[in-house]
Amino acid sequence: MAWLKGIISIVLLTGNTLFWGIPLMVLSLLKLALPFKPVQERLLKYLNGIASLWIATNNLWIRHWLRPQWHIDLPDSLSREHHWLVIANHRSWTDVFVMLYALHDHLPMPRFFIKRELIWVPIMGLAWWALEFPMMRRYSASQLKRRPHLAKHDLRATRKLLTHIDRTPVTIYNFAEGTRFTRAKHEQQESPYQYLLKPRAGGCAQVMTMMGHKLSGIIDVTLDYRQGRPRFRDLLCGRSGRIILKARRLDIPEWMPDGDYLNNTHYRERFQAWINALWQEKDQQLSCTTVS
């Protein structure tokens, strides 16, 4: 029965989180209490190892307990020894688990752009801080127009991550839409895309400005739920259906690194045009009537 499978999935997920969460919390508190660079670097290495084991254990029970009907298409040239930027559309919490399931064995440790409010999530909030996830404040276009300096808060969060990027390879994940897709949000935005919200270029541009030359490439991920269900509870109950993840590697355009998104109008418009064209391609892919 689906509800029973869901209960067992919650037990497995909770148990795995608590099992690895205890040492993760201890190391996170040590990192908070011992602000010495050599100590923090060693602690971050251990934290990454524990987080990797949490992901691997989740993937194990997902594979053997849920046995998901996911079609995953990845490029061949991925490596865990290099830095990457992953850009994806966003539907639900299911996206995170699908992407980690598909990419964890092929890319280095993930760093997600997350909302700052999530720091208050028990266990995980402190862990995300200790793992140096960039925590972003979300501002509306009208707020930024009235107070442009607010954009610098997110810039500082990104810079904090990227100043330590040389310590270990990482994969920076960015859901460029900034929020989960719903029809209400789609209508409110008057989005020009059929299946997507408008993308936000700022997070990607900040990464490119600060570490574009260090990235091995951009991984463009399209999550397709046309034959599946995006709700997280459907995933836990083993009825997520056929979800398709297609990833492709994009070379970084020569003009993209070292730009100034906040202060250079020409660069900002060019970056926005680039990501809008990328989103147009995603929407066309999602609009296809047949699924390979």
Query: For 178-226, how does the pLDDT look when each residue is reduced to its tens digit (9 = 90+)?
Result: 889 999 999 999 999 999 999 999 889 988 988 888 899 999 999 999 9
Domain match, 62 and 76 both: no
pLDDT in tens, 244-290: 999 999 999 999 998 888 889 999 999 999 999 999 999 999 998 55
Domain match, 176 and 220 both: yes
Among 34, 67, 100, the domain boundary falls at 67
Mean pLDDT value across residues 147-172: 68
The verdict on residue 205 lying in a domain is yes
Query: So what's the pLDDT on residue 148?
Result: 62
Query: So what's the pLDDT on residue 210?
Result: 81
pLDDT in tens, 46-90: 999 999 999 999 999 999 999 999 999 999 989 999 999 999 999
Query: So what's the pLDDT on residue 262?
Result: 81
The verdict on residue 93 lying in a domain is yes
Query: So what's the pLDDT on residue 186?
Result: 96
Query: So what's the pLDDT on residue 290?
Result: 52
Domain match, 59 and 82 both: no
Domain match, 19 and 39 both: yes
Domain match, 99 and 189 both: yes
The verdict on residue 224 lying in a domain is yes
Mean pLDDT value across residues 104-133: 84
Give the pLDDT band (50/70/90) at residue 1: confident
Mean pLDDT value across residues 7-16: 97
Domain match, 63 and 39 both: yes
**Is the confidence at residue 164, as pLDDT, over 80?**
no
The verdict on residue 161 lying in a domain is no
**Is the confidence at residue 141, as pLDDT, over 90?**
no
Domain match, 23 and 83 both: no
Domain match, 221 and 100 both: yes
- Residue 31 structural domain: 1-67
Greater confidence, 165 or 274? 274
Q: What is the DSSP string of the chain?
A: -HHHHHHHHHHHHHHHHHHHHHHHHHHHHHHHH---HHHHHHHHHHHHHHHHHHHHHHHHHIIIII--EEEEE--S---TTSEEEEEE---STHHHHHHHHHHTTTS-EEEE-EEGGGGGSTTHHHHHHHTTPPEE----HHHHHH-GGGHHHHHHHHHHHHTTGGGS-EEEEEETTSS---HHHHHHHT-SSSS-PPP--HHHHHHHHHHGGGEEEEEEEEEEEEEE---HHHHHTT--EEEEEEEEEEPPPTTSTT--TTT-HHHHHHHHHHHHHHHHHHHHHHT-S---
The verdict on residue 124 lying in a domain is no
Q: Quick one: what percent of the chain has pLDDT higher than 90? A: 66
Mean pLDDT of the chain: 89
Among 41, 67, 93, the domain boundary falls at 67
**Is the confidence at residue 147, as pLDDT, over 80?**
no
Query: So what's the pLDDT on residue 203?
Result: 84
Query: So what's the pLDDT on residue 86?
Result: 97
Mean pLDDT value across residues 3-30: 94
Domain match, 233 and 104 both: yes
Q: What domain count does the chain have?
A: 2
Domain match, 173 and 61 both: no
Among 67, 87, 121, the domain boundary falls at 67
Query: So what's the pLDDT on residue 133?
Result: 83
Query: So what's the pLDDT on residue 221?
Result: 98
The verdict on residue 163 lying in a domain is no
**Is the confidence at residue 161, as pLDDT, over 70?**
no
Mean pLDDT value across residues 152-162: 63
Domain match, 201 and 57 both: no
The verdict on residue 200 lying in a domain is yes
Query: So what's the pLDDT on residue 159?
Result: 66
**Is the confidence at residue 291, as pLDDT, over 60?**
no
Domain match, 3 and 80 both: no
The verdict on residue 246 lying in a domain is yes
Query: So what's the pLDDT on residue 131?
Result: 85
Q: Quick one: what percent of the chain has pLDDT higher than 70? A: 88
